[in-house]
Amino acid sequence: MTEAISTTKQRKWQDYFTFCTDHKVIGIQYLVSSFFFYFIGGIFAEIMRTELATPDPDVVSPELYNQLLTLHGTIMIFLWIVPAAAGFANYLIPLMVGAEDMAFPRLNALAFWINPPAGVLLLSSFFVGAPQSGWTSYPPLSLLSGKWGEEFWILSILLIGTSSILGAINFVTTILKMRIPEMDIHSMPLFCWAMLASSALALLSTPVLAAALVLLSFDLIVGTSFFNPAGGGDPIVYQHLFWFYSHPAVYIMILPFFGIISEVLPVHSRKPIFGYRAIAYSSLAISFLGLIVWAHHMFTSGTPGWLRMFFMATTMLIAVPTGIKIFSWCATLWGGKLNLNTSLLFGIGFVSSFLIGGLSGVMIASVPFDIHVHDTYFIVAHFHYVLFGGSVLGLYAGVYHWFPKMTGRMVNETLGKIHFAMSFIGLNITFLPMHELGLMGMNRRIALYDIEFQPLNLIATIGSYILAASTIPFIINVIWSLNKGKQAERNPWRALTLEWQTSSPPAIENFSETPVLWSGPYEYGIDSEPRDSDSIRDLLAEVASEG
Amino acid sequence: MNIPSNIITLIAGIILTMISLWYGQNHGLMPVAASEEATQVDALFNLMVTIACGLFLIVQGTLIFCVLKFRRKKGDTTDGPPIEGNIPLEIVWTAIPTIIVFVLSIYSFEIYNNMGGLDPMASMASHHSPAQHHHHEPMLAMTGEQSQLSLGIGDSPDENSNSPVYVDVNGIQYAWIFNYTDSGIVSGELRVPVKHPVHLNLKAGDVIHAFWLPEFRLKQDAIPGKDTTLVFTPTRIGEYPIICAELCGAYHGGMKSRLYVLSESDYEKWLQENIMAQSAQEANTVAISTAEMSDAEYLAPYAQEMGVNQEIITQLRPIQ
Ligand SMILES: [Cu+2]
């Protein structure tokens, strides 16, 4: 009966192009638009890798190369990973806590609709000469290389920053205030914990970035000298302000996917998450420590020795909560009954490649070693293992996991596994050789390099083509599954979190009746009865009819 | 049943340790080390590689084992064991990383101190009388008396007693200019005698650059309006790249130079030839004093074209 009601009220495709306050529509809007920008950022990356296949700058001009690297970084961070995480958060948080919608639905829609103009503004900077000073935009270089391109970049980031503040307010309020009464804070899904930690960081640090960019704007347009040494300004102050946001930004980009992995692994290995509280609180610990490590990006900059030592110690400490998560995920898999579908493969791939980024992360926390590798390809390798091996694989794990819920269709597992294999192999071929390149002496952000570095660069370029090709089976899979995929049941994975208690896709008001908290979010194997809310519901219906 | 699995764990542990120890020493990922401090950094790196290798094998091994061993059998819809945690185990894997990062922090601190990173000022004050600096001081640099906090890497506390070489290094788009404060030599390449401490005073004329010597594991940003320091003692004769590591514009990738570590006698010879050449040049051609050179550097933002700068540099270069 409830199924019939929910299927009559479905969203039309047109709804996804409107100012719609339904969190599920907004979630899909975020996900689809961020994927569009991923595509553009990916093309920029492929052009750069093609340039780097040979030592000479022969494919694009060095100026264009710098524009591409600036926009690649900016797009991948601000228009792909951050909004994609917001997409999952929007779609899942209300469902996971049993709410009808977000706390502030209109603010939520506004937060999304700030993004497309910001993206268009950023891309249109190509018409006025795109920014060339990297996504870090350090003055004085950023003040010298093209005024309007730089200004477009600043405005676009300010818009996206505003959007992420609005989003974070919504996430925190919804998680804290809109849970169904039976769900206390220690029985909410770990994704909610992760979003709490990530949103706190966004709220605390984004305003500082905004301040830095507004001042940079003044230097650029009005000719003030906040950061311009030619007028007595201090470029190092900009670096501090910038990294005060941009280091936490790394955690804003990875914490949501930590959350997704903590959802995906238990469901598909049919075991409770190992160490719920440790994982939940380690997210908070990471978020707190994340606020006091920023100057590790400045170990070779204007940072005095004692400060370098302080930031080395705090940065190293982050390895502890991160290690707790990795070990807990491994222990979750251990002894389980692994259903090795695409979602779980991406989940395990996430742990495997994020680990590499984590290990190199501890190394570069060490000042004497970082002095050698700072601004080299070792760093490029490190953060791509974190952000591609981590965030992007985690994102795909989430897409494959919740696709049935979001669309009402199952994905094609064969195409999914091809997608996984190509992504995992491609990412390692692309980014593993970069460690050696950096150690041996190849600096980053260069369009031309010494001939001795060519073999490894060529390997990396080939890897990047495999990565580019890996999106083809994914796109085919999505299009095919949307039209021809098997109809998804309410709860195809027999998962315990609340979003699986409603129909697939959920009705407009989410739950046709108030969801019931049958158990904790991960209590698999506690009783051996199949955990299908449908069957429980049937059972209740039977009892009722008998009565 | 229990004993063999313990033995297997033990053997696996031993093999894993052996592999990690071997790889930590034989990764071959670093270029040659051309100073005592570089060797120390390498020792730290080797230790970190050993630990990372061990953790890598443990975690990846666990993942692969899980994928192979704990697959769901076809048709099995039951759940796995309801294990929700294990406090002793969790304490262990919290404690081990804590100890590791504690040890690494202390060790890194030690090496950083040996490199002279904690107090770059101390060395400058003891070795370097401000007077030596004065007559070649470019405009933006802070005047001799170092009024602000010194930044960078200073002397190793146990530096040998050979006389130091002082060089002002100026980064401009897209070249490094070396100005020997004692002899007045200006060059586009850096030549230093082996086993003598080299004191570099880094300045930047236009944007931020970074002075990187991969074989010395040293890097320090050259920041406009703020002098920074690098001190090192080369122990190995040879030719090494100098690389700009901070994005500084379109031709950032081309901003390179060479460091020649010469034997003491070769260095003396080069020094004499160039002092003579320099004075000859000053006598009959347009003298390029350091003061004028700094003007050119500070105007460099207008000369963004690679060609222009190359010209300046070749002009500035004495005999190659
Ligand atoms: Cu440079």
B229-256 per-position pLDDT tens digit: 999 999 999 999 999 999 999 899 999 9
User: How far is residue A228's CA from residue A140's CA, in Å, rounded to a whole number?
Assistant: 6
Q: Do A320 and B252 touch (CB under 8 A)?
A: no
User: How far is residue A459's CA from residue A436's CA, in Å, rounded to a whole number?
Assistant: 12
User: In chain B, what residues touch A413 (CB-CB under 8 Å)?
Assistant: none
Contact A377, A457 (CB under 8 A): no
Q: What is the mean pLDDT of residues A346-363?
A: 96
Residue A515 maps to a domain:
yes
- How many Cα atoms are found within 13 Å in the side-chain-facing hemisphere of A215? 21
- Residue after which a domain boundary falls, among A442, A462, A484: A484
| DSSP 8-state secondary structure symbol assigned to residue A487 | B
pLDDT, position A231: 86
Q: What is the mean pLDDT of residues A405-427?
A: 95
Q: Do A446 and B217 touch (CB under 8 A)?
A: no
* Residues A479 and A502 grouped into a single domain: no
Min Cα distance A304 → chain B (Å) is 5
pLDDT, position B84: 86
CA angle A490, A492, A498 (to 5 degrees): 55
Of A153-157, A453-457, A482-486, A511-515, the one with minimum mean pLDDT is A511-515
* Residues A426 and A500 grouped into a single domain: no
| DSSP 8-state secondary structure symbol assigned to residue A344 | H
For residue A444, report the distance from its CA to the centre of ligand 1, in Å.
12
- How many Cα atoms are found within 13 Å in the side-chain-facing hemisphere of A23? 25
C-alpha distances in angstroms, A249 versus A100, A204, A242, B127, B206? 29, 11, 10, 43, 29
User: How far is residue B190's CA from residue A286's CA, in Å, rounded to a whole number?
Assistant: 44
Residue A338: partners with Cβ closer than 8 Å, 6 or more residues away: A268, A269, A270, A344, B66, B67, B70, B71, B72
For residue B298, report the distance from its CA to the centre of ligand 1, in Å.
14
What is the b/e burial string over B42-62, where b = at least 16 CB atoms within 10 angstroms of the residue's CB? bebbbbbbbbbbbbbbbbeeb
Residue in chain B closest to A232 (alpha carbons) equals B225
* Residues A464 and A499 grouped into a single domain: no
User: In chain B, what residues touch A309 (CB-CB under 8 Å)?
Assistant: 109, 112, 118
* Residues A91 and A169 grouped into a single domain: yes
* Residues A88 and A171 grouped into a single domain: yes
Give the domain range for residue A512: 493-547
- Residue after which a domain boundary falls, among A156, A186, A216: A186
User: In chain B, what residues touch A356 (CB-CB under 8 Å)?
Assistant: 56
**A8 against A392, higher pLDDT:** A392
Token representation of residue A204: 């605390």
Q: Does A337 touch chain B (CB under 8 A)?
A: yes
Residue A52 maps to a domain:
yes
**B125 against A86, higher pLDDT:** A86
Nearest to B79 among A133, A441, A524 (CB): A524
User: How far is residue B172's CA from residue B207's CA, in Å, rounded to a whole number?
Assistant: 7
* Residues A499 and A417 grouped into a single domain: no
Q: Do A316 and B98 touch (CB under 8 A)?
A: no
* Residues A405 and A465 grouped into a single domain: yes
Q: Give pTM, 2 decimals.
A: 0.89
Min Cα distance B298 → chain A (Å) is 9
Residue A70, classified by CB atoms within 10 Å of its CB into exposed (0-12), middle (13-18) or buried (19+), is buried
Q: What is the mean pLDDT of residues A159-170?
A: 95
Token representation of residue B258: 């060479």
- Residue after which a domain boundary falls, among A434, A466, A484: A484
Regions of chain B where pLDDT drops below 50? 1, 123-148, 285-320
Q: Do B149 and A445 touch (CB under 8 A)?
A: no
* Residues A464 and A536 grouped into a single domain: no
Distance of CA A159 to the CA centre of its chain: 18
Would you tell me which CATH number, out of the four given (2.60.40.420, 3.40.640.10, 3.30.390.30, 1.10.260.40), belongs to the domain B120-283?
2.60.40.420
User: In chain B, what residues touch A438 (CB-CB under 8 Å)?
Assistant: none
Nearest to B250 among A66, A305, A450 (CB): A66
A218-264 pLDDT, tens digit each:
999 998 989 998 888 899 999 999 999 999 999 999 999 999 999 99
Residue in chain A closest to B154 (alpha carbons) equals A305
Token representation of residue A524: 């698999």
Radius of gyration of chain A (CA): 23
For residue B246, report the distance from its CA to the centre of ligand 1, in Å.
6
Number of domains in chain A: 3
A320-333 pLDDT, tens digit each:
999 999 999 999 99
Q: Do A272 and B94 touch (CB under 8 A)?
A: no
Residue in chain B closest to A64 (alpha carbons) equals B250
What is the b/e burial string over B276-313, where b = at least 16 CB atoms within 10 angstroms of the residue's CB? eebeeeeeeeeebebeebbebbbebbebbebeebeebb
B-proximal residues of A, 401-430, CB under 8 Å: none
Domain boundaries, chain B: 9-66+90-114, 120-283
User: In chain B, what residues touch A270 (CB-CB under 8 Å)?
Assistant: 72, 78-80
Mutation site, B49, B173, B221, interface A, largest A CB count within 10 A: B221
pLDDT, position B281: 65
Say yes or no to pLDDT of A217 above 70.
yes
Q: What is the mean pLDDT of residues A192-211?
A: 94
pLDDT, position B149: 53
DSSP letter for each residue of A8-49: HS---GGGGGS----HHHHHHHHHHHHHHHHHHHHHHHHHHH
User: How far is residue B241's CA from residue A386's CA, in Å, rounded to a whole number?
Assistant: 30
Phi, psi dihedrals of residue A98, rounded to the nearest 5°? 75, 30
C-alpha distances in angstroms, A428 versus A35, A113, A133, B290? 22, 36, 28, 50
Going by C-alpha positions, the residue among A456, A447, A457, A376 that lies closest to residue B253 is A447
User: How far is residue A533's CA from residue A538's CA, in Å, rounded to a whole number?
Assistant: 8
Min Cα distance A341 → chain B (Å) is 11
Residue A131 maps to a domain:
yes
Residue in chain B closest to A270 (alpha carbons) equals B79
CB atoms within 10 A of CB A158: 18
Going by C-alpha positions, the residue among A488, A517, A485, A486 that lies closest to residue A501 is A517
CB atoms within 10 A of CB B255: 25
For residue B300, report the distance from its CA to the centre of ligand 1, in Å.
12
Residue A374 maps to a domain:
yes
Phi-psi label, residue B249: left if phi above 0, alpha if psi -120 to 50, beta otherwise: left
Residue A252 maps to a domain:
no
Min Cα distance B318 → chain A (Å) is 26
User: In chain B, what residues touch A348 (CB-CB under 8 Å)?
Assistant: 63, 66-67
User: How far is residue B282's CA from residue B173's CA, in Å, rounded to a whole number?
Assistant: 25
Q: Are strands B152-153 and B228-232 parallel, antiparallel or unpaired?
A: parallel
* Residues A41 and A173 grouped into a single domain: yes
For residue B257, report the distance from its CA to the centre of ligand 1, in Å.
11
Q: Do B252 and A445 touch (CB under 8 A)?
A: yes
User: How far is residue A225's CA from residue A196's CA, in Å, rounded to a whole number?
Assistant: 38
User: In chain A, what residues touch B78 (CB-CB under 8 Å)?
Assistant: 270, 337, 525, 528
Q: Do B52 and A235 touch (CB under 8 A)?
A: no
